[in-house]
Amino acid sequence: MSKALDLSLFVNQTLDITMPDGDIIHVKKPTQNMIIKLMAFQNVEESKAFEALDELCLLILNANKEGKVFTKDWIDDNFDWTMKSAVVQAYSEFINELQANPNS
């Protein structure tokens, strides 16, 4: 009996985010660097929390399959802190789901 591992199943997994203007972006799975930054976010000093939140949100949104580039100014103009938090939270949940069930 032979087994097969189809790695192509892992390539197309994305977190789909509907932007404030209604456009949908498809955020790719995290790189090792992104996971490290997400983990470091948990230990950020309170005084730097908003700066770290901006950085993470920008990192996540710019990992989209469409190749759309977001800037800090764009995020500041279009997202409030609750939206930024929602992006980071949803991405964290996406990562946890991938770890729990990597080939779904």
Phi, psi of 24, deg, nearest 5: -115, 130
Q: Provide the number of structural domains found in the chain.
A: 1
Task: Name the residue range of residue 86's domain.
Answer: 45-98
Report if residue 64 sits inside a domain. yes
Phi, psi of 14 (to 5 degrees): -140, 165
Residue 16 lies in a domain: no
Whether 69 is in a domain gets the answer: yes
Average pLDDT over the chain reads 90
103 pLDDT exceeds 70?
Answer: no
Structure pTM?
0.85
Does residue 32 lie in a domain region? no
54 in a domain, yes or no?
A: yes
> Does the residue 24 lie in any domain?
no
Amino acid at 31: T
Q: Measure the CA–CA gap between 59 and 9, rounded to whole angstroms.
A: 24
Query: pLDDT (tens digit, 9 = 90+) per residue, 42-91?
Result: 888 989 989 999 999 999 999 999 999 999 999 999 999 999 999 999 99
User: Is 74 within a domain?
Assistant: yes
